């Protein structure tokens, strides 16, 4: 019998200070592009749950503030059925909120 994946969780993720996506986004004031931030958040949630969520679809994503190379993201998430709602914060300020629709955990042993 395997342990059930958490229904709620908090995971931290450090955006690499030399993250390659920040080059050119923008000179002297680098930010992490939204698509990369969203990808990093979903991957961190997958690692926390212990199972890949792919294939998945992004139901919603709202980018509220920029995230920068070297930022520590605090990602809070909750699962309900086949949907994961999440928010990402940097130093207490929300930078991203979203929902991802995905299949249930694998039944493989």
pTM for the full model? 0.82
pLDDT at 5 over 80: no
Would you state the pLDDT for residue 2? 44
Arithmetic mean of pLDDT over the chain:
85
pLDDT at 108 over 90: no
42-93: per-residue pLDDT in tens? 989 888 887 776 678 899 999 999 999 999 999 999 988 889 999 999 999 9
Q: Which string of DSSP letters, residue by residue, matches the chain?
A: -PPPPPSEEEEEEEPPTT-GGGTTS-TTS----HHHHHHHHHHHHHHHHTS---S-EEEEEEE-S---TTPEEEEEEEEETTEEEEEEEETTEEEEEEEEE-PPPP---
pLDDT at 103 over 70: no
14-24: per-residue pLDDT in tens? 999 988 888 77
For each of the domains in the chain, give its residue range(s) and CATH number, in order of start: 8-101 (3.10.129.10)
């Amino acid at each position: 019998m395997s342990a059930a994946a958490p229904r709620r969780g908090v995971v931290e993720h450090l955006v690499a200070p030399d993250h390659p996506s920040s080059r050119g986004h923008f000179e002297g004031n680098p930010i992490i592009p939204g698509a990369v931030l969203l990808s990093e958040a979903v991957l961190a949630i997958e690692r926390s749950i212990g199972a890949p969520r792919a294939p998945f679809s992004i139901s919603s994503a709202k980018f509220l503030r920029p995230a920068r190379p070297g930022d520590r993201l605090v990602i809070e998430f909750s699962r309900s059925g086949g949907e994961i709602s999440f928010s990402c914060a940097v130093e207490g300020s929300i930078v991203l909120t979203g929902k991802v629709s995905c299949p249930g955990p694998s039944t493989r042993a």
